[in-house]
């Protein structure tokens, strides 16, 4: 078995490669050729810990495995990260465990990459201004992914605190100095009024911008709110948008951006029908005009982790990256 850490994953799988992998994964999922059962959760009360298990297979990418995410409420007090993630890849022919990979870095990469794929398929070709709401690790990869598929000349990061914005600036300077040079920082959420593309990457329980601030023709990616109680996007914005999701069943069950307005009678489940894979496979045309607002909502799917992990493993084997251990 090969052990592949975070630093190796960042060197092995580029953002453009990850974006292409997202198109493959969701095209296969919507076509019924990939499998991703809804995640199974285990909650422990004492100590407080949630463990989420997410299996998936994407035969077209030779990918089979499971992702484990743990959320330990007491970890910050211990000086440890709140969330840990691991991906196990299994050989789909023999069933032999092939690799154990850092899941936290894979999660950040694939979450950015799916927004990159959605942006490539839905945003106007002449989009130049990106506004990202949120200043955490997920926000960083949103910026890098969108800049990989559009000629962005201005990035505005909206955060809750100056400390978080300063940290984000440091990350960008380290990862891509050219993007850092065109990036502005603010705590004013009205900055979305300048956007051609908006990315929301928060855990907010209320909309992170006001609907009137969204101009005609804007494309929105929402990747942060992943429970029925969280809501990043105003219902009014969703109602006037072309809505695209990563996987319909999961989005309707897990995304508060849909659950909350549906319960309030503002939106119907039948309004949420188009999946990203439908665009990839040519089953839906996507944007119909330059004035149309397009909205992509992702709650995350294990097919994303499996295709990125499989790619990382293949490249690691060729380049001798990671560490090989025996389980015998």
Per-residue pLDDT tens over the stretch 138-193: 899 999 999 999 999 999 999 999 999 999 999 999 999 999 999 999 999 999 99
Q: Taking each helix axis from N to C terminus, what angle separates 103-122 and 137-149, rounded to the nearest 10 degrees?
A: 40
Which pLDDT value is given to residue 38? 81
Question: pLDDT tens-digit profile of 26-81?
Answer: 999 999 999 998 889 899 988 889 999 999 999 999 999 999 999 888 988 899 88
H-run or E-run covering 137: helix 137-149
Query: For the whole model, what pTM was predicted?
Result: 0.93
pLDDT digits (tens, 9 = 90+) for 82-116: 889 999 999 999 999 999 999 999 999 999 999 99
At the topology level of CATH, where does 2-106+303-324 sit?
Answer: ornithine cyclodeaminase, domain 1 (3.30.1780)
Q: What is the pLDDT of residue 239?
A: 97
The CATH number, out of the four listed (3.30.1130.10, 2.30.42.10, 3.40.30.10, 3.40.50.720), of the domain defined by the range 115-301: 3.40.50.720
pLDDT of res. 323: 96
Give the H/E segment covering residue 45: none
* pLDDT band (50, 70, 90) for residue 199: very high
C-beta separation of 163 from 187 below 8 A: no
Answer whether residue 328 shows pLDDT above 90: no
Distance CA(247)–CA(251), nearest Å, equals 6
- Classify each residue of 30-58 as buried b or exposed e, where b means 16 or more C-beta atoms within 10 Å of its C-beta: beeebebeebeeeeeeeeeeeebebbbbb
pLDDT at 81: 84
Distance separating alpha carbons of residues 110 and 108, to the nearest angstrom: 6
C-alpha to C-alpha distance for 289 and 292, rounded to whole angstroms: 5
Chain position carrying tokens 């505005």:
156
Confidence of residue 7 (pLDDT cuts 50, 70, 90): very high
Terminal CA-CA length for the chain? 10
Residue ranges per structural domain of the chain: 2-106+303-324, 115-301
Tell me the C-alpha distance between 174 and 168, whole Å.
10
Phi, psi of 151 (to 5 degrees): -85, 80
HSE (side-chain half, CA atoms, 13 Å) at 37: 11
Q: How far apart are CA 173 and CA 185, in angstroms?
A: 13
Q: What is the dihedral of CA 247, 30, 108, 229, to 10 degrees?
A: 0
Cβ-based neighbours of 240, under 8 Å, separated by 6 or more: 293
Positive or negative torsion for Cα 31, 104, 55, 232: negative
Tens of pLDDT, residues 219-275: 999 998 888 999 999 999 999 999 999 999 999 999 999 999 999 999 999 999 999
Q: Cα–Cα distance between 254 and 11 in angstroms, integer?
A: 32
Segment 289-304 shows an average pLDDT of 96
CA pair distance 16, 240, nearest whole angstrom: 30
Q: In terms of Cα–Cα distance, which of 300, 294, 301 is closest to 243? A: 294
């Amino acid at each position: 078995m090969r052990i592949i850490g975070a630093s190796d994953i960042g060197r092995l799988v580029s953002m453009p490669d990850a974006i292409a992998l997202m198109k493959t994964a969701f095209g296969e999922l919507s076509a019924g050729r990939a499998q991703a059962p809804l995640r199974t959760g285990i909650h422990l009360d004492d100590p407080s810990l949630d463990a989420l298990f997410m299996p998936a297979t994407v035969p077209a990418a030779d990918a089979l495995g499971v992702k484990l995410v743990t959320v330990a409420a007491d970890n910050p007090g211990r000086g440890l990260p709140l969330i840990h993630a691991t991906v196990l890849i299994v050989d789909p022919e023999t069933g032999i465990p092939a690799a154990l990979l850092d899941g936290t870095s894979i999660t950040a990469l694939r979450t950015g990459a799916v927004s990159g794929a959605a942006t490539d398929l839905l945003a106007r070709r002449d989009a130049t201004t990106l506004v990202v709401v949120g200043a955490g690790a997920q926000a960083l990869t949103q910026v890098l992914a969108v800049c990989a598929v559009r000629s962005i000349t201005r990035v505005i990061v909206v955060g809750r605190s100056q400390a978080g914005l300063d940290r984000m600036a440091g990350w960008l300077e380290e990862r891509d100095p050219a993007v850092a040079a065109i990036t502005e920082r603010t705590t004013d959420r009205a900055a979305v009024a300048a956007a051609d593309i908006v990315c929301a990457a928060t855990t907010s329980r209320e909309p992170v911008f006001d609907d009137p601030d969204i101009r005609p023709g804007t494309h929105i990616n929402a990747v942060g709110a992943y429970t029925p109680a969280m809501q990043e996007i105003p219902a009014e914005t969703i109602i006037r948008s072309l809505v695209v999701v990563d996987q319909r069943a999961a989005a309707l069950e897990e995304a508060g951006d849909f659950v909350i307005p549906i319960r309030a009678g503002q939106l119907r489940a039948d309004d949420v029908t188009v999946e990203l894979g439908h665009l990839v496979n040519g089953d839906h045309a996507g944007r119909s005009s330059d004035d149309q607002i397009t909205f992509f909502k992702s709650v995350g799917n294990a097919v994303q982790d499996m295709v990125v992990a499989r790619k990382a493993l293949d490249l690691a084997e060729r380049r001798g990256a990671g560490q090989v251990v025996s389980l015998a």
